[in-house]
Each structure stands twice: as C-alpha cells, then as structure tokens.
C-alpha cells in the first residue's frame, strides 16, 4: 500500500515540476510568434451578433497566446516516458515501481490525451493565423466533432474488442452489461463531455475545474486497485496545476482547444476504465452545465422568437455579464467543483 501511494504522488509532483520547467520555453515561443487570436468573437453560435461576449473577451487587446494546454499533455507525456525509460534502464529498483504505463490501464487514456491535444493544436494554430475551415479561423465545429466521434469510436472498439469490457457500474445496483450498446454509450459520453470544453473562458477557470475532476478519478481508481490508472490521473492533475500556476490572472496563456480536447476525451476514457462513468455527470457537472447553457440559449432563441434564458452563454459568461468579477466566478466554480468531486467519489466508492 505505501509504495502504491508513492507511485501516485511522485509522478504527479514530477509532472508539476516538468510543466513549470517547460512553460518559459513554450511561452517564449508563443509570444515570439504572436500565437494569439487576432480578433474577439463577433458572432454567436446562432449567427447573431455576440456583442456581450465580444466585450468580455477582448482577444485583440489582451494578446494572450493560445496553446497553453501543451503544458498539460506535454508534461504528462514527458513524465510517462521518463519513468518508463528509467524503469527499463534500471530494473529491480524503485524506478521500476514508479512506471505507470500499462496496456490495460494507461495506454488508451494516454493515446487519447495526446491525439486530442495534437488535433486541438491544429485548430489553435489555424485560429492564430486566421486560417482554416471556419470564419474567423480554426476548424469548424463539424470537423472537430467528426474527429471526436472518430476517436470515440476507436476507443469504444478498443474497450469492447481488446479489453473485453461491455458494462458500466450503476451505483447501489451493480454492473449493467450492455453488450454492443456499450459502443454508442461511450461515443455519446465522449462527445457530451467534449462539448463542456467551452468552460475554458476565464483565466484560471478550466485548470481548477479539471484538476478537481481528475483528482477524483485518481482516488476512485486507487480504491479499485487500478494503481497505474490512478497514477495517470494524478499526473494529469499535476500537469494541470503547473498550467494553473501560469493561467491565474493575468493569464500567460489559455488552455484553448489543444488542452480542452485532450482533457475531455481522456477523461471519458478514464471514467469508463473505472466503470464509474455514471458518476461522471456529477463529478464533471460544471462541464455539462456549461455545455447545456449554450444549447438552451440557442434553442430558446430559435423557439421563442429571439428570447434568451441567459444574458449570454456559456454560463460563466452569464455571471460575468451580471456584474460578477472574473475572480469571483472562478473561485466559486473551484469550490463547487471540489464539492462535486467529493460527492461523486463518495457515490462511486460506496455504491
């Protein structure tokens, strides 16, 4: 047991240190090449003028680079590879115990994290260059959803065909075997959680929320004896804390698509690996609420002759529009995310 705890904590610290170490190099590159969005959002998803959102973001004035998510998935990847190499070079030593790469627990979430990060990086680059398939730069939502759908399909097939998993745990009931229905459920969850990535809208917001979520799943995986998966989740949390160190106001960079796509897709995989996916809507409720607020806003405008439910969507911008200072929104989101993480973890462990 003590060595298992050490295996979870040391790589997490290593990821934090790695993230802090690589950030000056990354930010130097991003600022030197002016990798920020050149204009504020002009149109809402419904096609109407986004006057409030444009005022809240002021991208052309802030000149804050995108691509900060590289710190997160980059530190996770470096940490995983370094401990794997050390374990290979020095067998029968403590280094061998600290490696957390394993076929049945961490290959898939690590692959998903990196794949999502790299694809999101393409979108960020195009946004910064005012190029791509979407007006204003970047890949269109349709293209990004097509990639997430493909990644989700591949992940669902891997679970079903390679890992032999076709069930989820229903709290206080037991395992529910879904057969082939496992595949569409997996796809729905990954796309749904990915849509919550728009929570990356205020300095410090996404980093704190995602850190709470991945910490919760580290605890769940540890309680299940999936030590490698627990270590992976804690390493992601460590990378997020490194990102958050530089993302608190005034942010040195934004998480942006390369970070949110990596984190949301990997989170889905982690949740299914623990079979605790049905508590994901609790642990990641803020992601779901953020996505739902935008959907509700668009639907309301279309069905109620332009009437809005929120002053502006997504939800965190609504609170800003009401007069809450950004730090108040962020701190309260952090508090709520910790409470939800604790609640979801309790249900997962007791149920």
Handedness of CA 149, 153, 155, 160 (dihedral sign): positive
Question: Can you give the pLDDT at residue 44?
Answer: 53
Maximum distance among all alpha carbons in the chain? 69
CA distance linking residue 289 with residue 314, whole number of Å: 9
Looking at residues 298-317, what average pLDDT do you find? 92
Which range, 246-255, 304-313, 335-344, is most confident?
Answer: 335-344
For residue range 14-23, list pLDDT tens digits in order: 999 999 999 9
How far CA 322 is from CA of 45, 313, 316, 328, 331, in Å, comes to 21, 12, 10, 12, 16
Alpha carbons 121 and 172: distance in angstroms, whole number: 41
Give the CB-side neighbour count of residue 113, counting CA atoms within 13 A: 28
Task: Give the HSE-up count for residue 56: Cα atoms under 13 Å, Cβ half-sphere.
Answer: 24
Measured in degrees and rounded to the nearest 5, phi and psi for residue 276 equal -100, 35
Residue 59: per-residue pLDDT: 52
End-to-end CA distance of the chain, in Å? 23
> What DSSP line would sit under 11-58, residue for residue?
HHHHHHHHHHHHHHHHHHHHHHTT-S-SS---B-TTSSB-HHHHHHH-
Q: Give the model confidence (pLDDT) of 234-285 as tens digits.
A: 999 999 999 999 999 899 999 999 999 999 999 999 999 999 999 999 999 9
Span 109-167, pLDDT tens digits? 999 999 999 999 999 999 998 876 666 678 999 999 999 999 999 999 999 999 899 99
Phi-psi region of 124 (alpha: psi -120 to 50; beta: other; left: phi over 0): alpha
CA separation (Å) from 8 to 32, 212, 220, 341?
36, 16, 12, 18
Domain boundaries, the chain: 2-350
- Weakest-pLDDT range from 34-38, 82-86, 226-230: 34-38
The whole-number pLDDT of residue 285 equals: 98
Q: Does residue 173 have a cis peptide bond before it, meaning omega lies within 30 degrees of 0?
A: no
Task: Please give the average per-residue pLDDT across 288-300, as a whole number.
Answer: 95
């Amino acid at each position: 047991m003590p060595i298992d705890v050490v295996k979870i904590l040391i790589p997490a610290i290593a990821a934090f240190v790695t993230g802090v170490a690589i950030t000056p190099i990354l930010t130097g590159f991003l600022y030197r090449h002016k990798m920020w969005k050149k204009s504020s959002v002009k149109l809402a998803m419904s096609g109407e003028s986004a006057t409030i959102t444009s005022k809240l973001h002021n991208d052309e004035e802030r000149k804050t680079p995108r691509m900060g998510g590289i710190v997160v998935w980059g530190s996770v990847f470096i940490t995983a590879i370094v401990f794997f190499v050390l374990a290979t070079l020095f067998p029968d030593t403590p280094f061998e115990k600290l490696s957390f790469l394993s076929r049945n627990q961490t290959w898939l979430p690590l692959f998903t994290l990196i794949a999502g990060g790299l694809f999101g990086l393409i979108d960020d680059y195009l946004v910064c260059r005012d190029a791509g398939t979407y007006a204003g730069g970047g890949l269109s939502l349709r293209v990004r959803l097509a990639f997430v759908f493909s990644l989700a399909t591949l992940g669902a097939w891997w679970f079903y065909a390679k890992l032999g998993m076709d069930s989820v745990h229903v709290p206080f009931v037991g395992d529910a075997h879904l057969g082939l229905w496992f595949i569409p459920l997996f796809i729905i969850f990954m796309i749904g959680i990915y849509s919550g990535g728009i929570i990356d809208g205020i300095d410090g917001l996404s980093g704190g929320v995602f850190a709470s979520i991945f910490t919760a799943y580290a605890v769940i995986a540890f309680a299940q004896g999936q030590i490698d998966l627990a270590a992976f989740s804690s390493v992601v949390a460590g990378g997020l804390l490194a990102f958050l160190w530089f993302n608190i106001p005034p942010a040195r960079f934004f998480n942006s698509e390369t970070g949110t796509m990596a984190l949301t897709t990997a989170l889905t995989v982690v949740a299914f690996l623990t079979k605790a996916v049905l508590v994901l809507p609790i642990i990641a409720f803020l992601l779901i609420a953020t996505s739902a607020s935008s959907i509700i806003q668009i639907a309301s405008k279309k069905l109620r002759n332009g009437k809005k439910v929120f002053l502006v969507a997504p939800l965190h911008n609504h609170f800003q529009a009401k007069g809450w200072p950004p730090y108040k929104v962020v701190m309260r989101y952090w508090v709520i995310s910790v409470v939800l993480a604790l609640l979801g973890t309790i249900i997962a462990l007791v149920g």
